[in-house]
Amino acid sequence: MAVNKIWVLAESGESGPLPLTLELLTHARGLASTVEAVSWGADVASAAAVLGEYGASVVYDVGDLAGALPGPPVAAAIASLVKGGNAPDAILIPATYDGRDVAGRLSAALDRPVLTNVTGLNVDEDLRTEHQVFGGSHTVTARFTGEGPGIFVIRAKSFAAEPGTGSAAQVVAAPAPDTGATGAARILNRHVEERSGPKLDEASVVVSGGRGLGAAENYALVEELASLLHGAAGASRAIVDAGWVPYSHQVGQTGKTVKPTVYLACGISGATQHLVGMKGSKNIVAVNKDQDAPIFSVADLGIVGDVHKVLPALIEALKARG
Amino acid sequence: MNVVVCVKQIPDPAAPSSLDPTTHNLVRTGKLILDDSDSYGVEMALQLAGQVEGSEVTLVSMAPGGEVSGLRTALAMGAAKAILVSDDALAGSDALGTAKVLAAAIRRAQPDLVLAATESTDGYTGTLPVQVAELLGMPSVTFAKSVAVEGSKVVVERQTEAGYDEVECPLPAVVTVTAGVVEPRYPSFKGIMAAKSKPVDTLTISDLGIDPSEVGATGARQGIVQVAEAEARSAGEKVVDEGDGAQRIVAFLEQIKVI
Ligand SMILES: Cc1cc2nc3c(=O)[nH]c(=O)nc-3n(C[C@H](O)[C@H](O)[C@H](O)COP(=O)(O)OP(=O)(O)OC[C@H]3O[C@@H](n4cnc5c(N)ncnc54)[C@H](O)[C@@H]3O)c2cc1C
Ligand SMILES: Nc1ncnc2c1ncn2[C@@H]1O[C@H](COP(=O)(O)O)[C@@H](O)[C@H]1O
């Protein structure tokens, strides 16, 4: 089966299309002759240039959602395009909060299964997905056996984003049909957490802390180290759940995927769910007082030691270098 | 208020996991336990039900072999009763197939609020609760870090990339909760004893009017082509800190030209 047409769910943030959107468009360009995007928001038209540059010839514009959560209206808009006869072979959806909502709704609305946690997608007779299981020790290759379109939820950093040569995507209005009760949730307020320095998933140095830090106030060591190295501060889920740091810092299966030049894990055991989010880092340094901690199995440099000694000394040494 | 909580019963995640070499399904042997991710939903449900006179918490689970061990744990925490769907035809079901089964079971409980976890520990598709919501024709709010019921609506703080959104949603609705939402209680001895006699309604798919072709491996309409060992990342140098740990890191960072 040739793959003719792929749709990419083009989610945007404060500063235009998300990096993950561009990663998906770039990869889709290499798989199918026609790549189109589906987007929403007050100003899809201004994203059309970037979406086009990365490969989308058309962007279906669901429009402003007026405070509704994206899942129901965006899925309903896509479902009505598909049912109207305009079906792609595959729909690529970013593994984000809203992306997962759209995927779930769309799957039930079209009665099509979803392949989730996809980290690779290739054409080999038909579309084949790759998934990391058991903390990344094994790769599973899977495929759909039923009628399309296939719905794929793809993790960040699975592909590199590279601009192509396309001109601005043509904006085609695709308003959502009435979603009735399913679309009744409304956003009342948005709270944005302050953050300085590079973004966690874009930084070339990431310093992360875990429960081994002992107490919330010791996370300051991680932040200071991150700032001295011009990097970003990350965290294990254990300390996010404990309320030491906001969720936006979490690295791992349910958090962010990071691939920095160097990842410093401080007082993190290295549970499989943490490893899948950082194993792709170019270099890994770990500090843990337990010499058998699983994190050491992926570390290029492992220091068996106490974070309360090693981190302050490291901060001093870096400051001394100026 | 009728609160339904989806609870998944899973193999102990601490035990080594493997895939069946022929079916490629996750090997599930031994007793199943309550997925830790769902203990937050159970606790949240108990707390919300405690605030509204005449409320009841019903558990819904799909599991093989009539498994109730995990359900008993959640009943011991304080849920009133459970619906278990168990049927050989369900082996190999994907998230959508499971959602069809759970939606049919949940409908029986006439819920005002359905709680689930954002994702399960062993399957972690994270799409199932939203599929259930769509099948039930209900709105949904995912990734809740706080949940409050105010009259006929639910108010949720929903995690976002940048922070969180305050979301309001009319009931009935499906809400998925994160691990930060509440601190699950430990079942008391009294609770454990009481759980033994709480009703568990065990159903098959024909009780729910579901066609076998909709679920199980056939309904999943997907297959595993192969399972391969991933390129292992090998461990590098491991040194015991003798007061020189920081210097070793500095030298390493210099070597890779980060500083
Ligand atoms: C469905 C699901 C999804 C999950 N998703 C994620 C995810 O996205 N990200 C994530 O991180 N986790 C995730 N987890 C949780 C994961 O399984 C682990 O529980 C978590 O990563 C542990 O965090 P930790 O390493 O900080 O804590 P612990 O496992 O408690 O480890 C603390 C470590 O610190 C060391 N230590 C203690 N004191 C010191 C000291 N003074 N100096 C040096 N070292 C010290 C200890 O030896 C230990 O190795 C998920 C779990 C589930 C079930
Ligand atoms: N077999 C099941 N029985 C009951 N609830 C389930 C089942 N599978 C998934 N769930 C619920 O749906 C959530 C998300 O599951 P998943 O889609 O596997 O990540 C879980 O955390 C549970 O709350």
Sketch out chain B's domains with CATH numbers: 2-219 (3.40.50.620)
Mean pLDDT of B153-164: 92
Please give the average per-residue pLDDT across A246-270, as a whole number.
93
Model confidence band, residue A193 (pLDDT cutoffs 50, 70, 90)? confident
Could you tell me if A301 lies within 8 Å of chain B, comparing CB atoms? yes
Q: Which of A129-133, B106-110, B173-177 has the lowest mean pLDDT?
A: A129-133
pLDDT band at A168 (very low <50, low <70, confident <90, very high): very high
Mean pLDDT of B31-56: 96
Is some CB atom of chain B closer than 8 A to the CB atom of A313? yes
Please tell me the predicted confidence (pLDDT) of residue A194.
78
Residue B131 parent element (H or E):
helix B128-136
Q: What confidence score (pLDDT) does residue A112 get? A: 97
What average pLDDT does chain B have?
94
> Quick check: A181 and B143 CB within 8 A?
no
CA B232, distance to chain mean position in Å, is 30
Q: From the CA of B15, how many Å to the nearest CA of chain A?
A: 12
Q: What are the structural domains of chain A?
A: 5-183 (3.40.50.620), 205-321 (3.40.50.1220)
Query: How far is the centre of ligand 2, averaged over its atoms, from the C-alpha of B122 (Å)?
Result: 9
**CB A249 less than 6 A from any atom of ligand 1:** no
pLDDT average, residue stretch A31-54: 96
Helix or strand run (H / E) with residue A227? helix A219-228
Chain centroid to CA B135? 18
- β-bridge partners, B227: A140
Nearest to A108 among B135, B221, B241 (CB): B135
Name, in order, each residue with C-beta under 8 angstroms of A278's C-beta and a sequence gap of 6 or more. Answer: A206, A208, A234, A251, A252, A257, A258, A263, A265, A284
Which chain A positions have a beta carbon within 8 Å of B129's beta carbon? 104
Residue A322 is predicted with a pLDDT of: 72
Q: Which residues of B touch A108 (CB under 8 A)?
A: 96, 99, 130-131, 134-135
Contacts (Cβ under 8 Å, ≥6 apart) of A180: B137
C-alpha A205 to ligand 2 mean position (Å): 35
Nearest CA in chain B to A155: B125
- CB-nearest to B236 from A140, A299, A321 is A299
Q: Show the tokens assigned to B197.
A: 């006699």
**Using a CB-CB distance cutoff of 8 angstroms, which residues of chain B are in contact with residue A97?**
142-143, 158-161
Confidence check: pLDDT of B239 > 60: yes
User: CA–CA separation, B3 vs B26, rounded Å?
Assistant: 31
Residues 122-161 of B with CB under 8 A from A: 124-131, 133-135, 137-143, 145, 158-161
Q: Would an 8 Å CB–CB cutoff place B14 in contact with chain A?
A: no
pTM attached to this predicted model: 0.93
Percent of chain A with pLDDT over 90: 88
Comparing alpha-carbon positions, the chain B residue that sits nearest to A280 is B233
Q: What's the token pair of residue A69?
A: 């959560």
Q: For A147-156, A175-184, A239-248, which range has the lowest pLDDT when averaged over its residues? A: A239-248
Locate the chain A residue with the closest alpha carbon to B246. Answer: A314
Q: How far away, in angstroms, is B169 Cα from ligand 2 center?
A: 22
Going by pLDDT thresholds of 50, 70 and 90, the confidence category of residue B15 is: confident
Partner-chain contact A116 B223, CB within 8 Å? no
Query: Does the pLDDT of residue A320 top 90, yes or no?
Result: yes
Task: Answer whether A204 contacts ligand 1 (Cβ < 6 A).
Answer: no
Predicted confidence band of residue A1 (pLDDT cuts 50, 70, 90): low
- A274: tokens are 């943490």
Q: Convert the pLDDT of each residue in B136-158 to its tens digit.
A: 999 999 999 999 999 999 999 99
User: B241 at the A interface (CB within 8 A)?
Assistant: yes
Residue to mutate among A140, A199, A202, A224, with most B CBs inside 10 A, is A140
> Mean pLDDT throughout B168-178?
97
What is the rounded average pLDDT of the residues B51-57? 96
* Under 8 Å between Cβ of A39 and A11: yes
Does ipTM exceed 0.95? no
Residue B28 has pLDDT above 70, yes or no: no
Residue of A nearest to B179 (CA): A241
- The ligand minimizing its distance to the Cα of A312 is 1
Instruction: Please choose, from the candidates A245, A240, A285, the residue with its C-alpha nearest in 3D space to the C-alpha of residue A265.
Output: A285
Question: Quick one: average pLDDT of B174-187?
Answer: 93
Specify whether the backbone of B137 is left (phi greater than 0), alpha (psi in -120 to 50) or beta. left
Taking residue A120's Cβ as centre, other Cβ atoms within 10 Å add up to: 16
Output the CA angle B112-B115-B119, nearest 5 degrees.
Answer: 155
Q: Please give the DSSP secondary-structure letter assigned to residue A211.
A: G
Q: Which helix (H) or strand (E) holds B42?
A: helix B36-51
AA identity, residue A116? T
Is the pLDDT reported for residue B106 higher than 70? yes
Q: What is the pLDDT of residue A25?
A: 98
Residues with CB under 6 A from ligand 2: B 6-8, 35, 37-38, 61-62, 95, 98, 102, 116-117, 119-120, 123-129
Q: Is the pLDDT of residue A137 over 90?
A: no
**Strand-pair category, B153-159 with B163-170:** antiparallel
Q: What percentage of chain B has pLDDT greater than the value 70?
A: 100
The reply to whether residue B221 touches residue A113, judged by beta carbons under 8 angstroms, is yes
Which numbered ligand comes closest to the C-alpha of B126?
2
**A286, B252 contact by CB (below 8 A):** no
Contact B95 A283 (CB under 8 A): no
